[in-house]
Amino acid sequence: MYFEHYMDISRTHLIEDLNSSMEGKDVIFGGWVVDLRKLGKMAFLTVRDVTGMCQVIVKGDSMSLLEGLNRQSVVRILGKIQASKAKDFDFEVSATEIQVLAKAEYPLPIDPIGRLESDIDNRLNSRALDMRNQKTASIFKLRSKVLASIRETLIKRKFIEINTPKIIGSASEGGADLFGLDYFGQKAYLAQSPQLYKEQMTIGLERVFEISSFYRAEKSHTGRHLSEFTSVDIEAAMMDYTDVMDVLESIVIDVFKNTSENCKTEQQEIGYEIKVPSSPFERVTYTQALEELSSMDIKIEFGEDLQDSHLRSLGEKHPGFFFLTDWPMKLKPFYIHEKDDDPTLSRSFDLQYGYLELSSGGRRLHDPEQLRTRLKEQDLDPTSFEEHLKTFGWGMPPHSGWGMGLDRLMTVLIGIDNVREVVLYPRDPDRLKP
RNA sequence: GCCCUUGUAGUAUAGCCCGGUCUAGAAUUCGGCCCUGUCACGGCUGAGACGCGGGUUCAAAUCCCGCCGAGGGCGCCA
């Protein structure tokens, strides 16, 4: 068996499909050269593809095949499976032909073997090459698994995946600064949340979710903020805030279960063991939180927002996942619903992991007149929300929802504290390229 | 916007505090030679760096100032 056509780049096997029972069989596989050890008249190379790593042995006449070959180059190998004396492989491939499909230049900007860990700035500047580092690759394989798990859990519960616009025409919602852009002569903005659109969708789709990038023009320099982040959002008709808290909790538990059981290799590469958190998550009301803080000699008036330092103190008492519920109405956006027994409190929650805010959500107002009143109370102009408010006159079901920062969830999952590690090409105030 | 830390070969680092020992050291990578079972292969050998500009000093990688870059934190953050 020989390579018949040089332009052919196909393989007969992925590396994970090779095994010792195939001894004597000719195979064609490909990948990049991880390591190359020449021992006089024989040589060993280790070749990796996305599924695994394999040792290739070259000797005798075949030694000439190694000419010009270097680490990180992409090769296609034709060879015969044979038993191996190697420590980490129980079979190997004896090379008959080696085709260099793409040569890696020297010097490369980072060392992807990972013997020497390059610092994050260098790795982000060479992010594609960083994917050859198995630690980095594992993070993104896990991220893919996490997304699949979230979709699976939501679809099982009759949620429908939607895509809302990222270019929007109105910036009048208040809160975080938006990125402005020119839209054929009109002022437009990048969406910071799908909030209004996902609420509208409950009118006919009832249970919707979206997983997408959103944008905030805040000059935040921390390990947990990005200008472009991935948000998981849900909105569900006929569910109260405690119902969507349950949905959120089961999503988180499923994510931890799925990855911890099915991603052993990735955990090994990262050097971190994913542990499924115990459930149900603790639920602490804002009022209880004030009491807890008070017992730590931190006095906060009712209605005051919890600062980062306060959340850090609370996080010490509640180091894992917990819900912080029933926030004062005055701290919440206009669309949040008050509680029946105390209109100064809201049917709202944050999901915390220690001090880190992962998600916030709540029951929404669905009565258009109440919404108009609340807009005025918050010094917002109802007329600029008419496009939104008119949908509430068409039979808007009561509904609740939340948004969760996927990137932050990823950092919690793998026990790191910089969100840039789990985002391919992070955007922050100081980083726009690559 | 504010504060702290930091910048030495491709990578990751030693040296800086306390100026002269630096002709800047070890590792890895890359080149050459040797090596038929390596597995972070080994041996010999070669190449490769003090972010930029100014200052202090007999003397600056080392001290000071400015600029640029980087990392972290605070604040901001439906």
- Domains of chain A are 15-102 (2.40.50.140), 128-422 (3.30.930.10)
Is residue A109 reached through a cis peptide bond, with omega within 30 degrees of 0 on the bond before it?
A: no
Structure tokens at A93: 């491939």
Is A155 (CB) below 7 Å from strand B? Answer: no
Strand B nucleotides, any atom under 7 Å to a protein CB: 1-3, 10-13, 27-31, 34-42, 70-78
Q: Which of residues 184-213 of A touch strand B (CB under 7 A)?
A: 192-193, 195-196
Query: With the CA atoms of A132, A137, A141 and A146 taken in that order, what torsion angle do they form, in degrees rounded to the nearest 10?
Result: -160
Q: CB within 8 A of A135, min separation 6: which ones?
A: A114, A117, A269, A270, A271
List b or e across A124-161, with b for residues whose CB sees 16 or more CB atoms inside 10 angstroms.
bebeebbbbbbbbbbbbbbbebbbebbbebbeeeebee
**In Å, what is the separation between the CA of A119 and the C1' of B13?**
12
Residues 71-110 of A with CB under 7 A from strand B: 71, 84-89, 92, 106-110
pLDDT at A165: 95
- Tell me which amino acid residue A173 is: E
pLDDT of the residue at A241: 96
User: Bridge-partner residues for A285, per DSSP?
Assistant: A325
A411 touches A202 (CB < 8 A): no
The low-confidence residues of chain A, meaning pLDDT below 70, are: 1-2, 4-6, 114, 172-175
Whether the upstream peptide bond of residue A280 has omega within 30° of 0, thus cis, is yes
Count the Cβ atoms, other than its own, within 10 Å of residue A238: 12
Q: Which two tokens stand for residue A178?
A: 């938006």
Predicted local confidence at residue A4, as pLDDT:
67
**A165-188: per-residue pLDDT in tens?**
999 988 756 667 899 999 999 999
Cβ pair A87, A8 in contact under 8 A: no
Q: Considering the entire predicted model, what is its pTM?
A: 0.93
Report if CB A23 to strand B is under 7 Å: no
Residue A175 CB in 7 A reach of strand B: yes
ipTM of the complex in this document: 0.89
* Strand B atom within 7 Å of A296 CB: no
Nearest-CA residue to the C1' of B9? A107
pLDDT, one tens digit per residue, over A275-313 is 999 989 999 999 999 999 988 888 888 888 888 888 988
| Residue A269 contacts residue A280 (beta carbons within 8 Å) | no
C-alpha of A229 from chain center: 9
pLDDT confidence of residue A202: 97
A87-CA/B54-C1' distance, Å: 58
Distance, angstroms, CA A114 to C1' B20? 39
pLDDT at res. A128: 94
Q: Say if CB A5 and CB A19 are below 8 A apart.
A: no
What pLDDT score was predicted for residue A353? 94
CA distance A54 to A33: 10
Q: Give the CA A311 to C1' B8 distance in Å.
A: 41
How buried is residue A179: exposed, middle or buried, by Cβ count under 10 Å (0-12/13-18/19+)?
middle
Checking each nucleotide's C1' against the CA of A196, the nearest proves to be: B78
- Please give residues of chain A from 221 to 240 whose alpha-adjacent beta carbon (CB) lies under 7 Å from any atom of strand B: 221-223, 225
In this prediction, residue A296 carries a pLDDT of: 86
Long-range contacts of A298-307 (CB under 8 A, 24+ apart): A302/A328, A303/A328, A303/A330, A303/A331, A303/A344, A305/A331
Instruction: List for chain A the helix, strand, coil content (%; round to 5).
Output: 30, 30, 40
Tell me what pLDDT residue A6 has: 63
Which pLDDT score, from 0 to 100, does residue A66 have?
87
Nearest nt (C1') from A332 Cα: B78
DSSP secondary structure code for residue A118 in this structure? P
DSSP state of A206: S
For the segment 331-360 of chain A, residues whose CB is within 7 A of strand B: 332-333, 360
Distance of A155 CA from B24 C1′ (whole Å)? 62
Tokens standing for residue A220: 């935040």
Q: Which nucleotide is nearest to A222 (CA to C1')?
A: B73
CA–CA separation, A66 vs A72, rounded Å?
Answer: 14
Distance A331 CA to B22 C1' (A): 62
